Chains A and B, each alone.
Chain A
Amino acid sequence: MIEHRRRRRGGQEAEISITPMLDIVFILLIFFIVTTSFAKEFGVDMNRPSNAPVKEQKRTEVIAVRIVADGRIFVEDRAVDVGAVRANIESGLARKPQASVVVVADRAADAGLMVQVVDQARVAGAANVSLAAPAG
């Protein structure tokens, strides 16, 4: 009692105790420290043509890259190596600059190969790379 009054007179203005706030802030801080994970995922964007009715696709030119089940790659029906995909798409784009690249990958082909082909097409400068499954 006496202590209290003495303090009041000494400090002049009334003080709000910040201890409970500090407790809450620390608990929040610990929660966020524990739950934060800084693992960054790196990825390549994939366009998948939708099943919706095709819009404005009729006139655009297409460079088709096929990946067959055993891993062979065909750029416009020419068998090429993974390393040569980029050069082939570049020359294809030089002939038809507006073309979009469609990667038609067999369902049994390796996903790694498909990612590499899409990546190489993008490196070659194709603005629009999409991924399709072969018909049938």
Chain B
Amino acid sequence: MAITRRRAADDEGEISLTPMLDVVFILLIFFIVSTSFVKEPGIDPQRPVAETAAAKARGNILIGISEADAVWMAKRRVPLEDVRRLVEAAVAENPESSVVVVADQRASTGTVMDVMDRARAAGVTTVSVSAEPQA
């Protein structure tokens, strides 16, 4: 009844936006929830293979270590002394974040440990080393 009345009033037929709005909101909420703002280290080293590798959902501070022991953060090569300051800044932005050290398998253990120690000194409690899960 109401529809007929309305039709007569505005002449041209209107498309209901409500279902589209529902879908758009669901998409929006999905993307808000799933966004984690990962800072890519800028290099893609060859990761070691590990059986116990687990997905790090919260790991959003990625620190890359290249084959030649160069440290990369947020697509820039950084000196080892700056790692602590940069991690502190990243933690201040997102206190829930954790560190994943993406080290090349030929990088030296000493550099990996230095980076881990600096991340820990910056106040991050969970530090893990990236690995390829075994197929």
Contacts and interface: CB of A to CB of B under 8 A. Distances in A.
Most-contacted residue by chain B among A22, A35, A46, A48 (CB, 10 A): A46
Contacts of B24: 22, 25-26, 29
Given A9-B9, A26-B24, A32-B28, A45 B126 contact: yes
A107 B17 CA distance: 63
Contacts of B13: none
Interface in B13-37: 17, 21, 24-25, 27-28, 31-32, 34-37
How large, as a class, is the contact surface on chain A? 35 or more
A131 B115 CA distance: 13
Given A32-B32, A119-B50, A111 B9 contact: no
Interface in B33-65: 34-38, 40, 46-57, 59, 62, 65
Contacts of A96: none
B35 A35 contact: yes
Contacts of B94: none
B55 A116 contact: no
Interface string B113-135: 10011001000001111111100
